[in-house]
Amino acid sequence: MSRDMLTIGAFAKACRLSPKALRLYDELDLLRPSRVDPDTGYRYYAVEQLEQARLVAWLRRLGMPLARIRQVCALRPADAAHEIRAYWAQVEAETAARRDLAEFLVRHMSGTPRKDTTMLELRYSAHSDRGLVRPANQDTAYAGARLLAVADGCGPAGAPASSAAVEALRFLDTDELPAGNVLNLLEDAVQGATEAVRDAANGAEEDTGTTLTALLWTGSRLALVHIGDSRAYLLRDGALFRITDDHTVVQAMIDEGRLTPEEATTHPQRMLLLKALSPTAPATPDLRLQDAEPGDRYLLCSDGLSRVVPDAAIRHLLNSAPAPDAAVHALIAAANEAGGPDNVSCVVADVVEAAA
């Protein structure tokens, strides 16, 4: 073996990555060894690979996902620097949102009132479109003063399933919310939605289900419930943030670093859900609270929009449309201009100061 070659143990010490991590990066084609002994399977690394290995280690310390690290490592230094800067801006924005949530929880648990007493309300619009290819519309979109919701049904009873799921939440769309913790209210409502989907399946339980993504307005913040691959976005100060995670096979593979977002768009299992409201398999939804600010714009949509319209285009349309109704119709038109391969549903709501 050449003196310029390092064993995996020596290489791991030099770049401060564990041998286990190096084996994973080899498997993911992120950092392949320079040589693998054909008889023993031992991995050997060239000294010249230390720079890339240290970059991987630094990016992992930043918390960057492996799939994105692979993209950065393939770029020229100037382009890589731009990508790292963009990633860190995203992290700071998400950290700020979590900080707001932490501050709210501290106030809530300690009984400290909010300093900002400005009364807020929602201005909203919702619309669902069959698209250009599907023979029927299995989506449901709803917007009210308290409740915003999108559901995307599947299977022979997909349309009644999505409608039943949203209808099961509509009792929350009242001037006065029922007493109790708002997230507990939503969790209980989802149990009711699951039962409603079971009734709507009407014997087609095995293949029937629906996604459900909803926001419940409390007057100062929004409570989110999410299951499936419909999405919720927040547009704040011109920047777009996705506030839900897709419950899909390909998203799980992206999170594990085994697939890039670009590869996911053509993956044969890209539409396979890990979670949905199903008559036969109960699933736990994602629940969280979101503090609201005047000027915020929220979007809920089925994957008929997000699969064919890039986030950059969604951000542009949300920034350009003066009112929720105009935004909804512009987004749906964009999905149909991209081929309209699926039903597409959008709900857009603006957080505004309440009229005196």
Range with the largest mean pLDDT of 76-90, 98-112, 172-186: 76-90
Grade residue 272 by pLDDT with cuts at 50, 70 and 90: confident
Residues 174, 269: one domain? yes
Does 1 score more than 70 pLDDT? no
Residues 147, 53: one domain? no
State the average pLDDT over residues 20-39.
89
State the average pLDDT over residues 253-265.
77
Residues 100, 34: one domain? no
CATH number for 249: 3.60.40.10
Rg (CA), the chain: 23
State the average pLDDT over residues 186-196.
91
State the average pLDDT over residues 179-194.
85
How many structural domains comprise the chain?
A: 3
User: What are the pLDDT digits (tens) for 66-75?
Assistant: 888 888 988 8
User: What are the pLDDT digits (tens) for 286-332?
Assistant: 998 888 999 999 999 999 999 999 999 999 999 999 999 999 999 99
User: What are the pLDDT digits (tens) for 227-254?
Assistant: 999 999 999 999 999 999 999 988 888 7
More confident residue, 117 or 298: 298
Alpha carbon 20 to its chain's center = 29
Domain end call among 61, 77, 93: 61
Grade residue 82 by pLDDT with cuts at 50, 70 and 90: confident
Give the range of the structural domain holding residue 245, as residue numbers without chain letter: 120-353
Residues 222, 341: one domain? yes
Does 27 score more than 70 pLDDT? yes
Residues 49, 177: one domain? no
Residues 43, 184: one domain? no
Domain end call among 51, 83, 115: 115
Note the pTM of the prediction, 2 decimals.
0.69
Residues 335, 279: one domain? yes
d(CA 38, CA 2): 16
Domain end call among 61, 91, 107: 61
State the average pLDDT over residues 4-10.
87
Residues 102, 131: one domain? no
User: What are the pLDDT digits (tens) for 131-185?
Assistant: 999 999 999 999 999 999 999 999 989 999 999 999 999 999 988 776 567 888 8
Mean pLDDT for the chain? 88
> Which pLDDT value is given to residue 101?
67
Residues 25, 107: one domain? no
> Which pLDDT value is given to residue 113?
53
Between the CA of residue 88 and those of 57, 93, 164, 211, 212, what are the distances in Å? 16, 9, 41, 31, 31
Residues 212, 324: one domain? yes
Rounded (10°) CA dihedral 209, 148, 255, 277 = -20
Residues 30, 108: one domain? no
Residues 56, 73: one domain? no
Three state DSSP letters for 19-87: HHHHHHHHHCCCCCCCEECCCCCCEEEEHHHHHHHHHHHHHHHCCCCHHHHHHHHCCCHHHHHHHHHHH
> Which pLDDT value is given to residue 97?
65
Grade residue 356 by pLDDT with cuts at 50, 70 and 90: low
